[in-house]
Chains A and B, each alone.
Chain A
Amino acid sequence: MKRYSVFALAREAFNHHQGWERAWKSPTPKASYDAVIIGAGGHGLATAYYLGKNHGIRNVAIIEKGWLGGGNTGRNTTIIRSNYLQDPSAAIYEKARSLYETLSQDLNYNIMFSPRGLLMLAQTHHEVRGYLRTVHANNLQGVATEWITPERVKALVPIINIDGPRYPILGALYQARGGTARHDAVAWGYARACSEMGMDIIQQCEVTGVRSENGKVTGVETTKGFIGTRKLGIVVAGHSGQVAEMAGFRLPVESMALQALVSEPIKPCMDVVVMANTVHGYMSQSDKGEMVIGGGTDGFNNYTQRGSFHHIEETLRALVETFPMISRLKMLRQWGGIVDMTGDRSPIISKTPLGNCFINCGWGTGGFKAIPGSGWAMADLMARGEPGPLAAEFDMWRFREGRFIDESVAAGVAH
């Protein structure tokens, strides 16, 4: 693989850009592998990458039903933060955020990580108390966050309305090292690095069954034939329930639509990410100038990757109240992704009732920010067969035993 660099760019500039290689190969599947990962989204590709990089397991296939990074990896609002209340969440999200900082160099692929700072607005006294608690928890966890005043919020975000009629801004939880990254590039960068390590990324290949013997997985049936494997990782987000059913167990997960939208591009007007959880909307500005907007999930089970219009209306209403200047913006595109929601709104990185079969799911509405940490923890679990410190608390049996990692209560909303 030719490395990307300023010299490569100069060389290709003199060569009419004819010499660029394909970023990853598209091989036909082998008969069997040491490990197969279902799902070539960010989490699946990151799992494969760290299996190769940290554990030396490189005879790996990543199987994808559609196209690489075409699910929720390409449908999120690209926000990266780690200001969580509960210790296990803060640990894995902070691991992910810190890996994002050097991911471009690590992968030799520009993921455009932009630690532009992230604000979570407090608009009720309840939220003020909640975020003060989170700041203290974060300081103990080693996550750098601070509580800032409304005046500081206004200084950071001049377009914000801090004395709105319904919910004036009373302060904010500020994570200066939070920010955004280019979501597609994260998937593409991991895919290129996996392909370089000799892993097979097999797109347009749907898994139709999981084969097992004596309670241990032996391979997967796919639309491109049977593929044998010693270890199986299921990393399929919204369709986790479907694949788990093929593997013979049920997950505490429900699939729903989460929508996002972008406005027409405008000149730079906001260089931080702002989340307003009371009115429930969040917004950042992309490098192209579009305002990238997200809100809450639709309330019912749905696999259609499209949501209900009134949820968009609610999100925009909330944001127009917070940022009056966006009221005249035209919205350019709107889309939905299928998110897998668990009972406590925390993910599952776990062994399963089927031997040598592991699952990474339940990231719900907050998966993008976790991709490197999630892949790191999942690779560790798959390589050793036992969870490491990052994944230990996120097993699927915590629901039976009441060991929730209750970010749902901590955030007050889906997060």
Chain B
Amino acid sequence: MLILECPYCGVKAEETELSPGGEAHLKRFGPGSSDADFEAYMFARKNPKGVHFERWRHAYGCGKWFLAARCTATLEVFGTYPAQSSEPPADIVAKIKAKRPEWKGFS
């Protein structure tokens, strides 16, 4: 069972308390953008077998959105951080690099 710590209320919540929200750090493209940019934003999600950054909501807890770094190949959780982050925080990046030396970094 997946357990994520909510960075707001500090509760270690198990999966039934959480709702998954897909890829994190999406750059949004709206009216006026090119078809390719809009398609990439809307449909061509990252689908890595390994380190992945995701949005989650503490749905049956404080109700807030937060972000998580997780491995899709092993279900290992590297850490969670507030939704108001434009990229993964340095400490989580360092932790992932220590555990996954082959990881190319967030892009």
| Residues of chain A at the chain B interface (Cβ within 8 Å) | 239, 241-242, 250-255, 299-304, 308-310, 342-343, 399-401
Contacts and interface: CB of A to CB of B under 8 A. Distances in A.
Interface in B6-30: 15-16, 19-20, 22
A310 B16 contact: yes
Contacts of A242: 49
B44 A300 contact: no
Contacts of A304: 72-75
A254 B38 CA distance: 17
Given A251-B47, A253-B47, A309-B1, A343 B15 contact: no
B47 A241 contact: yes
A299 B36 CA distance: 26
Contacts, number: 58
10 nearest A-B pairs in the assembled complex, by CB-CB distance:
A252-B43, A241-B47, A300-B20, A400-B39, A299-B20, A399-B43, A343-B43, A303-B49, A301-B72, A250-B44
Given A303-B49, A310-B16, 17 more contacts: A250-B44, A251-B47, A252-B39, A252-B43, A252-B44, A252-B45, A253-B47, A255-B72, A299-B20, A300-B54, A302-B72, A308-B2, A309-B1, A310-B15, A400-B36, A400-B38, A400-B39
B8 to A, nearest CB: 20
B13 to A, nearest CB: 13
B42 interface: yes
B58 interface: no
B35 interface: yes
B47 A401 contact: no
Contact of A303 (B20, B22, B39, B73): B73
Contacts of B48: 241, 301
A71 to B, nearest CB: 14
Nearest to B68: A300
A353 B48 CA distance: 20
- Report whether over half of chain A's contact residues are helix, strand or loop; otherwise say mixed: mixed
Contacts of B75: 302, 304
Interface string B73-100: 1110000000000000000000000000
Give the most central of B38, B40, B45: most A CB within 10 Å: B45
A241 B49 CA distance: 9
A394 to B, nearest CB: 14
Contacts of A301: 47-48, 52, 54, 72
Give the most central of B35, B36, B54: most A CB within 10 Å: B35
Contacts of B47: 241, 251, 253-255, 301
Nearest to A311: B15
A89 B72 CA distance: 30
Given A300-B20, A301-B72, A303-B72, A254 B45 contact: yes
A241 B36 CA distance: 18
A343 B22 CA distance: 12
Contacts of A252: 39, 43-45
Contacts of A401: 35
A242 B48 CA distance: 7
A241 B44 CA distance: 10
A253 B75 CA distance: 19
A251 B44 CA distance: 6
Nearest to B39: A400
A309 B1 CA distance: 7
A275 B15 CA distance: 26
7 contacts: A239-B49, A301-B47, A301-B72, A303-B49, A304-B75, A308-B1, A310-B1
Contacts of A254: 22, 45, 47
A303 B1 CA distance: 15
B101 to A, nearest CB: 19
Nearest to A399: B43
Nearest to A253: B47
B71 to A, nearest CB: 9
A238 B2 CA distance: 21
Nearest to A249: B44
Contacts of B54: 300-301
